Structures are given as C-alpha cells and as structure tokens.
Chains A and B, each alone.
Chain A
Amino acid sequence: MTETRTAYGIGGLTYDPRKRHLPQEVNVFIALVLIVAAFELLGRVLYGDSFLFNTRPNVDAVFNWARLNIIILQVSIVGIIALGVTQVIISGGIDLSSGSVVGATAIITMSFAQTALVNGNPNPKAVFGDLFLDMPVIVPLLVALACGLTAGLINGLLIAYTRIPPFIATLGMMVTARGVARWWFKGEPISFPTESYAAIGKGMMPVAIFLVLAVLFHLILRYTLYGKRCYAIGSNEEAARMSGINVERHKVLVYTIAGVLAAVAAVVLSSKNLTAQAGMGMMYELDAIAMTVIGGVSLAGGRGSIVGTVLGALIFGVIISGFTFLKLDAYYQEMVKGAIIVGAVVLDQWRQRRRQARG
C-alpha cells in the first residue's frame, strides 16, 4: 500500500504528493519525438534514407549532424523572437510587429556596421558616405538596441495607455516598421559589414545566442516578480489590477523586451547573412507565434513556458526540414507552414475548451 498524505485534508480528500500532474511540456516533447519518428519512418519507406541517423559511409557519426545542425540553426533566429512573443502571449497580448522590426532594425543597424574598405577599395555602398565607417561593434549594437527599444516601447505604450487592442497596435507597428525598412536605403540592400559585426552570427553563434537567451528568460519567467506578473496578468488582468499590480507598466516592459529580442534577432540574422534588406524578417512574426503556440503557450494568456517554446521551435524546425528531406516542393512547404500555424491555434482552442469543461 502506498502511503497517502493529506496536507489539509479535513474535507476527506486524500492527496498523494508524489503523484503530480505532468507538465504540458512533456506532451510537447512527446509530440516532437513522434514527429521525428514519423519522418524517419517515411524517409525509410519512401527513399530508403534516414532522417535522424547518419547514412553516409564516409562519415563517422551516429546521427546526421549536418541535418540536426541546420534544423537548430534555422529555428534559432526566429526562436529568439519567439522568446519575446512567449512573454507577450503569456501576459495576454500578441505581437505581430516582430518580423518588420527585424527588417527595420537589420537595415538601420547594418548601415552603422559598414566597413571602410571592401577588398582594398572604398566601400561602394556606404550609407552615410565617409561617415560611420569601421565603427567599433558596440555602435551598431547600441543602434539595434535603440531600434528594438523604440518599437517595443511604442507598442507597449499604445497598448497599455490608449487601450488599443494589441492586435491592432502591433499590426500598425508591423506596417510602419516595414515602411521604415524600405525608406531607410530606398529599398536597396546594405552589405559589407565590419569583421567584428560579421562575427556575431558566424557558424553556430545564432544557436548559442538563442540558447543563452532561452535559459535567461526561462529563469526570469520562473523565478522573478516579472515572470509571476506575466502569468497573473494573462490569467486575470482585472484580478491582477485589483491586487495592486501596475498592469500598464508591466505591459510596457513586456512589449519592450519583445522589441529588444526582435532587434537581437535582426543583428544575428544580418550578421549571419552579411547583408540586410528591406524585406528581411518578413512573416517571422507568424513563425514565432506558431512556435510559441505549438510549444503550449495559450493564446488566451496565463499559460506556457520558455521550455515549451524552445520545444515548439524544434518541432517547427523539424517539420520544415522534414518536408525538405521528403523532397516536398517549396510551394507545398509554404502551404504546410500555413497549415501548421492554423493547426497550432486550433489545438490551442481545443485545449482551452477542454480546460473549461474541466472547470
């Protein structure tokens, strides 16, 4: 017989503290494993090739590291955005502007990261002529920070103090920031960053940056006042307000952090690609929201975690890469991506309804 302990069980309820509810993240992880297994199976059946394992005889490895690296590299940049989107959605909002903020930040930041000499010749496309060339890397980084702060702050202030729905406010920012990105260099791309700027997104650096930020925000959401307030406000904004939480100030902070994270993604992306153009980051906001929702963050607010979002990002990456692996045409991939986003939201709605049914 197992011993059951009742902490306050005067009501005759017994409670076994060892039997805990499995966290949502376990389900997401199981989903990840199942999806990988499905691709593995399909690959073996259709092409006699493995998705996960190394099949090249000249390489000495158990796993197909090339593919795995591509998957995490692919998702890490949008993943950085998704970390911010997670906080926004947990606190009951939504951010549609992140993709455009990436575009605007990338192109503005890149124009302050220009090298003076390209192959020994003067930089042919320097934005400000002779000015701002060969700046120390801190300069473009501060510019990026300023861009992210500005966009996030405007989002936050609009949402908190004018009571515009987050959907509308960030939609406005989405259009405006894209406009800024186009206007900045009249739609032309900007290339030729300094070496120190290019180093930021080199190799597996995007993955490292993503993981460090994920750990940081995981700790913040779990162990700090800020995190507690995200969940409280997303769960019941009125109750949070009645309890004396400054809901408005918190919202400004949340959207500002999301803006800054989008700016970080912009730096990593432009540095990795060695170029920035006005269309950069297009639709990233939707990918980020999809990752978040797949990871179990509820669009109704109050629920979810960074761990879930990281797993959601991996699922997203696995699916995209899996369809490439199955030699699915790029057009189909777009459609599949759309289906994933809608599917994730449908799943979230279903979860919400089930939760309500349980009371």
Chain B
Amino acid sequence: MSDIVLQTRGLTKHYGGVHALVDADFVLRRGEHVAIMGDNGAGKSTFVRQITGVERPTAGSIWFDGREVQFNGPLEAREAGIECVFQNLALCDDLDVPSNLFLGREKVLFNLGPFSILDRKGMRAATEAALQRTAVKIPNLANTIRNMSGGQRQCVAIARAATFASKLIIMDEPTAALGVQETAQVENIIRHLKAQGEPLILVSHNMRQVFDLVDRIVVFRRGRIVANLRKEETDGQDVVAYITGAKTQALEDAA
C-alpha cells in the first residue's frame, strides 16, 4: 500500500481562454501538511476546486486514496473523505450555526426522503461539542451566520471541515479574516490535526504561518507549479523569489 493520499497528474483548468491551472503535478503523502503559496490569481483556489469536485478539470487526472477519481460534484468528494474550507466559506447567511455545520448531511430522526424529520437537538448538541473541540467562541448558536463577525464565520466553516474530515482536509486561506487570537486558535486546530496524522493542504499568504505549520511548500505562479520546497531546505526569501518569479526550479514532479 502506497503512502500517497492525493496525487494529481497534468491537472489543467481553462476558463474559456484563461489558463487558470496548467499541468499541475502534485503529491500529498500520509500525515503530511503541505502549504500552497502564490500571488493572487496564481490558480491556488482553482486547484482546490478541481480536487474537491466543485469543478471538472479540463485535463489531467486525480488519484485519491490509491485509486483514480472523477468527482461528479462536491458531495462525492466529501463522501470520499475530502473536506474543504473554501475561500468563500460556503456558508448560508440566513441559517444558524448547527444548520451550517450540518449543511448537506443533516441528522434525521425519521427518514422520509426529502421530508425526513430533522434531529434538531442532536445537531445542536453535536455542534456544541464540535465548537468546544475547536475552541471557537460563538455566543449564540441560534444566531444566523449573517449576524456574525468574519472570524466567527470562518470558525464555523473550519469547525465543519474539522468535524467531518476523514481522510484529507483542505483549507483555502482559513485565517484571512481572523484576528491574532483567532488565528492562533486555527493554527492550534491545524497542529492538532497534524498530531492526529491527518493530512492537510493549506492555502495561505502568511509566510510565518506556513513555516510554523507545514512540512512542505508548493508555489503556484500563473497557473503552474513552479517550486516544491521542503521546509528545512528553504527560507522566506527563497519562497518569495519563487512566488514573484525571480527564481525558478526545474521540476520533475512536485513530490
């Protein structure tokens, strides 16, 4: 059994004439935490959307958990065990915290197809437990997401991913809107996942955070993977040079 969790080969995505992602070869090993860095518009989120089934790639293949996969929609990716905190969070503003946490996989009391009775108490209790685990502070669970701060929203999205993740978690700029304390909390969640051996892909612009948390850094530039750097063998300046294109690396495989 190989220790590769996720692998992409020649993954490519075109939006009309825009080549947002070109020939991405990427590997993630069991228990590994990898950061994806790159300037705005470098194709990081595009890459995330291809491997989470939100979009269908133009070309290339994705291997997950030992077999080639073609996700028809995000549900299939989730069922396969990939959880994602999307950059836009994918929360419903008019719903409360438990409803957002269980969005798309609600607990039901009686199964009556689309008219299944919701287990509201069960979801509430599970939400409280999940939030306590992630040390997220939300004064009132019954409040709608609309009335929450950017950080609280982000915490709900992260708690959702952390609660349901089974094989792989992807976070697209999870601390972008967070304050100092909240960022530290999210980083603690990530360390916790590392200790548990959960593999993770972290998209981030925060150099300090990346060097604190991950084992490896993959740099995207103009839709291409331009560098694959072990943390011990690189430093901030080096990474910035790759991000800006001042330096290039001959890559056979981002592994």
Q: Which residues of A are interface residues toward B (Cβ below 8 A)?
A: 6-11, 13-15, 17, 20-21, 220, 223-226, 228-229, 231-232, 234-236, 238-245, 250, 253, 302-303, 355, 358-359
Q: What is the count of residue pairs linking A and B with beta-carbon distances less than 8 angstroms?
A: 109
Q: Mark B124-149, 1 if CB is under 8 A from A, else 0.
A: 00001001100111111111001100
> With A240-B104, A244-B75 in contact, is A8–B132 under 8 Å at CB?
yes
> With A8-B137, A235-B92 in contact, is A245–B115 under 8 Å at CB?
no
Question: Would A7 and B103 count as touching, CB distance under 8 A?
Answer: no
Question: Would B141 and A224 count as touching, CB distance under 8 A?
Answer: no
A243 to B, closest residue via Cβ: B104
B238 within 8 A of A: no
Interface residues of chain A: helix, strand, loop or mixed (majority): helix
> With A8-B139, A240-B103, A242-B90 in contact, is A224–B74 under 8 Å at CB?
no
Question: Would B99 and A225 count as touching, CB distance under 8 A?
Answer: no
Among the stretches B56-64, B106-114, B242-250, the one at the interface with A is B106-114
A233 to chain B, nearest CB (A): 8
B181 to A, closest residue via Cβ: A11
Question: Would A244 and B73 count as touching, CB distance under 8 A?
Answer: yes
**CA–CA, A302 and B106, complex, Å:** 18
B208 within 8 A of A: no
A149 to chain B, nearest CB (A): 16
A220 to B, closest residue via Cβ: B115
Question: Would A231 and B104 count as touching, CB distance under 8 A?
Answer: no
> Which residue of A10, A238, A250 contacts B114 across the interface (Cβ within 8 Å)?
A250
**CA–CA, A296 and B158, complex, Å:** 32
B192 to chain A, nearest CB (A): 17
**CA–CA, A13 and B94, complex, Å:** 22
Q: Which B residues touch A10, using CB under 8 A?
A: 135, 137
Question: Would B91 and A17 count as touching, CB distance under 8 A?
Answer: no
B147 to chain A, nearest CB (A): 7
Question: Would B95 and A232 count as touching, CB distance under 8 A?
Answer: yes
Question: Would A244 and B117 count as touching, CB distance under 8 A?
Answer: no
B216 to chain A, nearest CB (A): 27
Q: Which B residues touch A355, using CB under 8 A?
A: 146
> Which residue of B74, B75, B138 contacts A7 across the interface (Cβ within 8 Å)?
B138
**CA–CA, A8 and B116, complex, Å:** 31
B86 within 8 A of A: yes
**CA–CA, A250 and B104, complex, Å:** 12
Question: Would A235 and B137 count as touching, CB distance under 8 A?
Answer: no
A226 to B, closest residue via Cβ: B114
B96 to A, closest residue via Cβ: A231
Question: Would A242 and B92 count as touching, CB distance under 8 A?
Answer: no
A151 to chain B, nearest CB (A): 20
B92 to chain A, nearest CB (A): 4
Q: Which A residues touch B79, using CB under 8 A?
A: 244
**CA–CA, A119 and B116, complex, Å:** 50
B234 to chain A, nearest CB (A): 33
B143 to A, closest residue via Cβ: A21
B44 within 8 A of A: no
Q: Which A residues touch B99, using CB under 8 A?
A: 228, 231-232
Question: Would B106 and A228 count as touching, CB distance under 8 A?
Answer: yes
> Which residue of B54, B88, B92, B108 contacts A225 across the interface (Cβ within 8 Å)?
B108
Q: Which A residues touch B91, using CB under 8 A?
A: 236, 239
Which residues of chain B from 45 to 75 have a CB within 8 Å of any chain A CB?
54, 73-75
> With A13-B139, A243-B104, A244-B78 in contact, is A226–B115 under 8 Å at CB?
yes
Q: Which A residues touch B140, using CB under 8 A?
A: 7, 15, 17
Question: Would A6 and B74 count as touching, CB distance under 8 A?
Answer: no
A6 to B, closest residue via Cβ: B139
Question: Would B103 and A239 count as touching, CB distance under 8 A?
Answer: yes
- Can you spell out 20 A-B residue pairs with CB atoms less than 8 angstroms apart? A7-B138, A7-B141, A8-B132, A8-B138, A10-B135, A21-B143, A225-B106, A225-B114, A226-B114, A226-B115, A228-B95, A228-B106, A231-B94, A241-B74, A242-B86, A243-B90, A244-B79, A302-B92, A302-B93, A358-B147
Question: Would A244 and B137 count as touching, CB distance under 8 A?
Answer: no
Those 8 A-B pairs whose CB atoms lie nearest each other, nearest first:
A244-B75, A243-B104, A15-B139, A302-B94, A235-B94, A244-B104, A235-B92, A239-B90
